[in-house]
Amino acid sequence: MKDIEPGYIALYRSGELERRAEALEARLNACDICPRECGVNRWEGERGFCHSAYLPMVATVGAHHGEEPVLSGHRGSGTIFFGSCNMRCVYCQNYQISQDYRAQRRHEVETRILAENMLFLQDELGCHNINFVSPSHFVPQIVRAVLEAVPLGLRLPLVYNSSGYDSVATLRELDGIISVYLSDLRYASNKWGKRFSKAPDYVERARAAIKEMYRQVGNLVVDEENIAQKGLIVRHLILPNGIAGSRDSLSWLVREVSPQVTVSLMSQYFPAHLAPRLPMLSRAITPEEYNEVVELVEELGIENGWLQGMGAPADYRPDFSGDGCPFPPVEDVKR
């Protein structure tokens, strides 16, 4: 299969990409970019829930070899980790990046630098894609940087790697710009979204966002090397004590999105950040909890995706057991 030209290139040629950048930036005057809708004027340096003004915070840039196989491939996924976040997960494994706001202000850069980072990942490191990690609060800046990067030669697929706590109105402005959506589906209960992530409307927001992502890009499409060119991947992190609501979330995904949707089932949870102080989150998941969700995947007929094995150490970063679709047989995983 011939590589699919990223849609943002045609949008650049038509002038639509510039129009989208300007429309998104105008919304920063009374920010409603994410579901928080804080209404602060980020152009004037006001900071709402995400503690971000206009300049994007770029925490790290590099080739990531621990993403899903269709993203990392053999040359790595070109990750750009943004500082700050529009959630407050008590178990965040990257809390130094997501919640140490004063430190992250040292990483504020002009969008021109963000554009140059994309070119570095493409031309110098040879990555398969540009992977925006925690992008929800910096969508206008990302689109502006893509606008600046296209005439410099940017041509890689763009990955939107999100917690799922996204604004549908903002996602619509990304239609044709983003090739691959990589979204979390963390909770099936707003009770836990509020308590553990300060996101009291997480369920309806994430589900609406995932449906919009799927509308834009559909099921996963890969090239001859099994590298993602387009499509949706949904990550589901198994949490202890059933907090993730795996049955409700995965059943919804099959029923309301697609039985063919690609699912990345993650078992890497460990009690990071504030979680050791919280009895419900102070331990890793058990083999029984893991196998229960594995069996659920088979029961629901989910065939596309990856299963992550048990026993991840505390400094673990995802390295998925499968090397592509479909899921391995459940009996092989449990062995």
Q: How many CA atoms lie within 13 A of 83 on its CB side?
A: 23
Q: Going by DSSP bridges, is the β-strand pair 130-133/180-184 parallel, antiparallel, or unpaired?
A: unpaired
Q: How many helices (H) and strands (E) does the chain have?
A: 13, 9
Is 272 contained in some domain? yes
pLDDT at 315: 35
Asked whether 111 and 80 are in contact (CB, 8 A), the reply is: no
Residue-averaged pLDDT of the chain: 92
Number of domains in the chain: 1
- The CATH number given to whatever domain includes residue 275 is 3.20.20.70
Give the relative orientation of helices 16-26 and 7-14 as an angle to the nearest 10 degrees. 90
- The residue type at 34: C
Position 231 pLDDT exceeds 70: yes
The label of the residue with tokens 């993730």 reads 244
pLDDT at 4: 80
Q: Which of 11-15, 190-194, 254-258, 324-328 has the lowest mean pLDDT?
A: 324-328
3 state SS of 91: coil
Tell me the pLDDT band of 326, cut-offs 50, 70 and 90.
Answer: very low
- The rounded distance, in Å, linking the Cα atoms of 335 and 317 is 22
- The rounded distance, in Å, linking the Cα atoms of 234 and 161 is 10
- The continuous run of DSSP H or E covering 21 comes out as helix 16-26
| Single pTM value for the model | 0.92
Domain of 291 in residue numbering reads as: 7-334
**pLDDT tens digit sequence for 237-252:** 999 999 999 999 999 9
Q: Residue 147 CA to chain centroid, in angstroms?
A: 21
Is 2 contained in some domain? no
- Mean pLDDT along residues 22-33: 98
Is 1 contained in some domain? no
Is 136 contained in some domain? yes
